[in-house]
A and B are shown apart, each in its own frame.
Chain A
């Protein structure tokens, strides 16, 4: 019974924790501009993150060490340093977007300007990272994040033309007013949003935090293989809501307030309450994860003691790094930069850095010295290699597409 409860809790947490500000914004933007013509990217991204998160979790459970520790040992400090620099910067950008997302969601609830909420959100992130136990932190934000199921409920409540929606998703057509370059730019952005690197670092380091062993592999596999795809369905629901309400009104999403309008149209004030709570939980949870990921990768690279399972005094440098990243992220937001813009850039830059994150994981998962009999099999390697090619294509095409489209204009 306890095992079943643990599995169910893990799956629910994975669903609620899957979405972050990148998914919320990118899916709404895509839905309002392309309908469901880009819905196919979500399953592609979800399958990719399932593969690699599962691999990273397995590495951590079998070796008892987080991915980045092994990357440095296996690839050497030079290669690992380039990996670290790219991952750390993308992570910082994502953290900035998430803190901005919390502030924007609180603004929707109160009509108090986002600048007032930024320090509150940043302080709350720091306090939780400092004081709250890892499992409580992860489960509470993940479970409250389930309020975002309201997007899926709204799709039904809006009584859409299902045939039309299915047709848009299965036979994608680029709308007349959009170019094919913009279409592919947003395909890369959606892919980057689904496969954000911090998720893998967090998943792998979290496995060490929770002292996973080989016995936990089954549970972790279920969490990933069921939780993430269900989270992906919520991503498509966000795009579907925008497709049903905003696209016919010729409203292109440029702010978070527009993302929630379809939910309000479907379910009124009750749905609004759910969606705001869900967005706060999802962005706050992702802010915690990105803060921890920044601390994890730097500490693991430099060989510092790390982990929330240790008292802060025992992992002082790890906690200082997290504190500094929160301050830097907040300082960036205080320049007045639009958090939605930061989000849009962060998902594209995530796509650019993807090979640096995922190739080392594949290399380590194939090293029998670390993995023993849990080394990747043929099927896993074939799938992972196919994904590596997709990741490489997305990464190489991201900057040219960004220039040609003026960042998706």
Chain B
């Protein structure tokens, strides 16, 4: 009975170990993590752009737009924290990581500036320009990355 239980436990541990080798961080390595962070960043930038577009067209409230921009910024910051500490060995990965962190910093700045406009802290940038800037940053990051 004990042998059977031990065998079942051992099989379970082996199964779990094998499964863990299939988790994205192990399976895809650094390129996968960078690609994931890139997608999260471009998605957040586009989300901020959509929120600004709706506000600019007077369809949305300042409160929702402000929250959407903050959420987008938090998403980029989270993605940044996920890749900032990664130690790359491959020169291609190093270049991608650098490009990604640069773009993330730019996008966080754009989102903060847009949030300041929505909260009427500063008159600039106007929402249309802020929106175009975010979309351009997302597109540039995607094309640079590929």
Once bound together, how far apart are the Cα atoms of A108 and B62, in whole Å? 10
Answer yes or no: A252 CB below 8 A from chain B CBs: yes
**Which parts of B16-56 form the interface with A (CB within 8 Å)?**
19-20, 22-25, 36, 39-40, 42-44, 46-47, 50-51, 54
Nearest Cβ on chain B to A312's Cβ, whole angstroms: 37
Partner of B68, one of A261, A268, A409: A261
Q: Which residues does chain B contribute within 8 Å of A406, judged by CB atoms?
A: 23-25
Partner of B67, one of A108, A249, A268: A108
Query: Is the Cβ of B71 less than 8 Å from the Cβ of A252?
Result: no
Once bound together, how far apart are the Cα atoms of A246 and B25, in whole Å? 27
Query: Is the Cβ of B54 less than 8 Å from the Cβ of A261?
Result: yes
Answer yes or no: A219 CB below 8 A from chain B CBs: no
Partner of A403, one of B19, B40, B63: B19
Give the most central of A109, A246, A257, A265: most B CB within 10 Å: A257
Once bound together, how far apart are the Cα atoms of A121 and B75, in whole Å? 25
Answer yes or no: A85 CB below 8 A from chain B CBs: no
Q: Which residues does chain B contribute within 8 Å of A257, judged by CB atoms?
A: 51, 64, 67-68, 71
Partner of B19, one of A108, A251, A404: A404
Given A254-B75, A255-B75, A257-B67: A265 in contact with B51 (beta carbons within 8 A): no
Answer yes or no: A176 CB below 8 A from chain B CBs: no
State how many residues of chain A have any CB contact under 8 Å with chain B: 28
Query: Is the Cβ of B64 less than 8 Å from the Cβ of A251?
Result: no
Once bound together, how far apart are the Cα atoms of A268 and B60, in whole Å? 6
Answer yes or no: B105 CB below 8 A from chain A CBs: no
Query: Is the Cβ of B39 less than 8 Å from the Cβ of A252?
Result: yes
State how many residues of chain B have any CB contact under 8 Å with chain A: 31
Closest to A340 in B: B71
Query: Is the Cβ of B59 less than 8 Å from the Cβ of A404?
Result: no
Partner of B59, one of A252, A264, A400, A409: A264
Query: Is the Cβ of B23 less than 8 Å from the Cβ of A272?
Result: no
Answer yes or no: A269 CB below 8 A from chain B CBs: yes
Answer yes or no: B101 CB below 8 A from chain A CBs: no
Closest to A177 in B: B39
Give the most central of A107, A110, A260, A406: most B CB within 10 Å: A406
Q: Which residues does chain A contribute within 8 Å of B51, judged by CB atoms?
A: 257, 261
Once bound together, how far apart are the Cα atoms of A409 and B78, in whole Å? 14
Query: Is the Cβ of B64 less than 8 Å from the Cβ of A272?
Result: yes
Partner of B63, one of A111, A265, A400: A111
Nearest Cβ on chain B to A190's Cβ, whole angstroms: 21
**Which parts of A226-256 form the interface with B (CB within 8 Å)?**
245-246, 249-252, 254-255
Answer yes or no: B66 CB below 8 A from chain A CBs: yes
Given A257-B67, A258-B68: A272 in contact with B47 (beta carbons within 8 A): no
Q: Which residues does chain A contribute within 8 Å of B59, judged by CB atoms?
A: 264-265, 268-269
Q: Which residues does chain B contribute within 8 Å of A264, judged by CB atoms?
A: 54, 59-60, 64
Query: Is the Cβ of B23 less than 8 Å from the Cβ of A111?
Result: no
Q: Mask for A78-96, Cβ within 8 A of B = 1, else 0?
A: 0000000000000000000
Answer yes or no: A405 CB below 8 A from chain B CBs: yes
Nearest Cβ on chain B to A104's Cβ, whole angstroms: 9
Closest to A275 in B: B64
Given A264-B54, A264-B60, A400-B19: A111 in contact with B47 (beta carbons within 8 A): no
Query: Is the Cβ of A249 less than 8 Å from the Cβ of B63?
Result: no
Answer yes or no: B61 CB below 8 A from chain A CBs: yes
Give the most central of B40, B47, B75: most A CB within 10 Å: B47
Given A254-B75, A261-B51, A409-B24: A110 in contact with B63 (beta carbons within 8 A): yes
Query: Is the Cβ of A269 less than 8 Å from the Cβ of B71?
Result: no
Once bound together, how far apart are the Cα atoms of A15 and B106, in whole Å? 45
Once bound together, how far apart are the Cα atoms of A404 and B61, in whole Å? 40
User: Top 10 A-B pairs ranked by shortest CB distance?
Assistant: A255-B71, A111-B63, A406-B24, A257-B68, A268-B59, A251-B47, A403-B19, A111-B66, A264-B60, A404-B22
Q: Which residues does chain B contribute within 8 Å of A405, judged by CB atoms?
A: 24
Q: Which residues does chain B contribute within 8 Å of A108, judged by CB atoms?
A: 63-64, 67
Q: A109-B63, A261-B68, A403-B20 are in contact. List 4 more A-B contacts (CB 8 A).
A: A251-B50, A255-B68, A257-B71, A258-B68
Query: Is the Cβ of B19 less than 8 Å from the Cβ of A107?
Result: no
Query: Is the Cβ of A269 less than 8 Å from the Cβ of B43?
Result: no
Closest to B135 in A: A249
Once bound together, how far apart are the Cα atoms of A109 and B64, in whole Å? 7
Closest to A112 in B: B63
A-B residue pairs in contact (CB < 8 Å), sample of 16: A108-B64, A111-B63, A111-B64, A111-B66, A111-B119, A250-B42, A252-B39, A254-B43, A257-B68, A258-B71, A261-B50, A264-B64, A269-B58, A403-B20, A404-B19, A409-B36
Q: Which residues does chain A contribute within 8 Å of B50, judged by CB atoms?
A: 245, 249, 251, 261, 265
Nearest Cβ on chain B to A82's Cβ, whole angstroms: 18
Once bound together, how far apart are the Cα atoms of A260 and B65, in whole Å? 11
Give the most central of B20, B42, B61, B67: most A CB within 10 Å: B67
